[in-house]
């Protein structure tokens, strides 16, 4: 029996309905994937060496880019904030301004974006290539869970490395601000660090910590999901990699806003 | 025995398997031949539970593979030996590590036993000395 064609006036509604169902289905698959990964993290056997390997892959290999971007972000902040504060005669507050901007906001966000560009894209490409060359199917057929070997260690490594990368970004950034503010523009060292100590408290550091922790999950979740559900051939891997970086970056910024609104 | 009954599979609105019926008796050798894109791989992927059918069923010794999930499916899969079209070797591992991987992860053999079996396995295909 063939279906009767829809009246012309109802076709846009039909298309919207199909699109909405597809979106809900995709979100469901996305959520189920994270649920499976978290379930796997919490149940033995733990793949310790795969976890160590992922820390090296996501964290250690991103060190250089974190040091470079952290340093220059702090230097730019130091320069711009100094010239703004000078107008109000408040250049003594350069230290806290640089530190608070980095610790609460720029550190977690920029470190996450940098790690996404460096390690997230590589993660998607690696898993995507494993998918199209049937390496993931080979694991499945051996009755070994690909989620346990490929996804869970990456998400766990994201949880560990993102806060560490962020802390490093913040520290190097504050030093970059010091270089410009103190060494270049002549602010006293005591003022830079003394005021910073008075203004920055534990809640600021915890705000940055919670953000970086959640970014660690978001980036590894999105990037492994996209790799796992890659399309066909080299073109599929290229598309998945681009999608992973774009989606991770957008989610980082969106989630940063919500975290910023909720956290003290 | 492997039995396939009225197996149907669609991909993006295109029917790839049209009510396929097949019986493979225990101990027999069966060859599936067909043109490229004809659905041979899709059929095999159903047999090992990598794809779920849109219609029909796959039975292995009377157990319906297409309905199994989790551990029950893993138990059936442990009885399969599959050689994938492109080899599906783990390209991040050495030749020896590829041979050692299932011995370590599935059979949980001790390191010395794994090394011994890897050497023996590699020697069988003329790759002696490629072991750890």
Query: What confidence tens digit (pLDDT) does each residue in A115-154 have?
Result: 999 999 999 999 999 999 999 999 998 888 999 999 999 9
Structure tokens at B124: 């069988």
Per-residue pLDDT tens over the stretch A52-72: 999 999 999 999 999 999 999
User: Shortest CA distance to B115 belongs to which of B129, B106, B125, B124?
Assistant: B129
Cβ separation of B48 and A142 shorter than 8 Å? no
Test A133 with B74 for CB contact under 8 angstroms: no
Q: Which residues of A touch B92 (CB under 8 A)?
A: 126
User: Pick from A8, A249, A7: which is nearest to A120 by CA?
Assistant: A249
Place of tokens 């009767």: A4
pLDDT of residue A85: 95
The radius of gyration of chain A's CA atoms, rounded to the nearest angstrom, is 23
Question: How far is it, in rounded angstroms, from Cα A179 to Cα A186?
Answer: 10
- The larger pLDDT score, comparing residue A93 to residue B87, is at A93
**pLDDT given for residue B22 in this prediction:** 94
Alpha helix (H) ranges present in A43-93? 48-54, 63-87
Task: Work out the minimum CA distance from B23 to partner chain A, whole angstroms.
Answer: 21
Distance CA B6, CA B59 (A): 12
- Report yes or no: B69 at the A interface, CB cutoff 8 Å: no
Look up residue A262 and give its two tokens: 């909720």
**Is A76's pLDDT higher than 70?**
yes
Closest CA to A105 of A259, A262, A221: A259
* Range B19-33 average pLDDT: 93
Q: What is the mean pLDDT of residues A100-121?
A: 96
Mean predicted confidence (pLDDT) in A196-218: 95
- Which of A18, A142, A236 to substitute to test the interface with B, most B CBs within 10 Å? A142
Q: What is the ipTM of this complex?
A: 0.84
Asked whether the beta carbons of A107 and A77 are under 8 A apart, the reply is: no
Whether A3 has a pLDDT exceeding 80, the answer reads: no
Q: Is B88 on the interface with A (CB under 8 A)?
A: yes
Across chain B, the runs of DSSP E, i.e. the strands, are 2-11, 14-24, 55-60, 63-64
pLDDT of residue A53: 95
A170-188 mean pLDDT: 96
pLDDT at B107: 86
What six digits make up the tokens of A88? 């109000």
Measured distance CA(A182)–CA(B108) in Å, rounded:
60
Say yes or no to pLDDT of A244 above 70. Answer: yes
**Looking at the predicted structure, is the pLDDT value of residue A1 above 60?**
no
Counting beta carbons within 10 angstroms of the beta carbon of residue A89, is it exposed (0 to 12), middle (13 to 18) or buried (19 or more)? exposed
Counting residues of chain A whose pLDDT is more than 70, the rounded percentage is 99
pLDDT of residue B77: 84
Distance CA A28, CA A35 (A): 10
A2 pLDDT tier (thresholds 50, 70, 90): low
| pLDDT for A13 beyond 60 | yes
Structure tokens at A244: 């992973």
| More confident site: B73 or A2 | B73
Per the prediction, chain A carries an average pLDDT of 94
The pLDDT score that the predictor gives to residue B42 is: 93
B28 pLDDT higher than 70: yes
Report which DSSP code applies to B128: T
Could you tell me if A45 lies within 8 Å of chain B, comparing CB atoms?
A: no
Q: Residue B54 CB: number of other CB atoms within 10 A?
A: 13
Cis amide leading into A114 (omega within 30): no
pTM score? 0.88
Cβ atoms within 10 A of the Cβ of A238, count?
Answer: 14
pLDDT at res. B87: 79
Nearest CA in chain B to A141: B77
Percent residues over pLDDT 90 in chain A: 89
């Amino acid at each position: 029996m063939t279906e009767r064609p829809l009246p012309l006036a109802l076709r846009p509604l039909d298309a919207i309905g199909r699109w909405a169902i597809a979106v809900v289905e995709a979100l469901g698959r996305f959520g189920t994937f994270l649920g499976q990964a978290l379930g796997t993290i919490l149940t033995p056997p733990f793949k310790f060496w795969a976890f160590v390997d992922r820390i090296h892959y996501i964290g250690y290999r991103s060190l250089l880019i974190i040091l470079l971007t952290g340093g220059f972000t702090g230097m730019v902040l130091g320069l711009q904030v100094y010239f703004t504060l000078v107008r109000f005669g408040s250049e003594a507050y350069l230290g806290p301004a640089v530190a608070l901007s980095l610790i609460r906001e720029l550190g977690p966000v920029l470190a996450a974006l940098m790690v996404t560009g460096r390690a997230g894209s590589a993660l998607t490409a690696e898993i995507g290539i494993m998918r199209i060359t049937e390496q993931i199917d080979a694991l499945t057929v051996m009755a070994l869970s690909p989620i346990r070997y490929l996804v869970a260690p990456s998400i766990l490594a994201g949880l560990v490395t993102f806060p560490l990368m962020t802390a490093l970004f913040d520290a190097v950034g504050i030093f970059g601000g010091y270089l410009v503010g103190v060494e270049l523009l002549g602010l006293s060292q005591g003022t830079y660090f003394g005021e910073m100590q008075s203004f920055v408290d534990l809640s600021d550091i915890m705000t940055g910590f919670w953000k970086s922790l959640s970014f660690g999950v978001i980036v590894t979740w999105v990037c492994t999901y996209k790799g796992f559900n890659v399309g066909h051939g080299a073109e599929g891997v290229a598309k998945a990699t681009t999608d992973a970086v774009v989606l991770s970056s957008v989610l980082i910024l969106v989630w940063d806003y919500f975290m910023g609104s909720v956290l003290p | 025995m492997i039995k396939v009954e009225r197996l149907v599979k669609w991909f993006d609105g295109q029917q790839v398997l049209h009510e396929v019926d097949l019986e493979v008796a225990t101990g027999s050798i069966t060859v599936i031949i067909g043109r490229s894109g004809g659905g041979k791989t899709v059929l095999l992927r159903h047999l090992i539970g990598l794809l779920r059918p849109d219609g029909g069923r796959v039975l292995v010794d009377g157990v319906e593979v297409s309905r199994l999930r989790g551990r029950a499916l893993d138990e059936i899969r442990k009885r399969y030996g599959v050689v994938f079209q492109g080899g599906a070797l783990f390209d991040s591992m050495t030749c020896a590590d590829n041979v050692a991987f299932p011995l370590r992860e599935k059979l949980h053999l001790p390191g010395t036993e794994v090394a011994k079996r890897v050497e023996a396995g590699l020697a069988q295909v003329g790759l002696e000395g490629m072991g750890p």
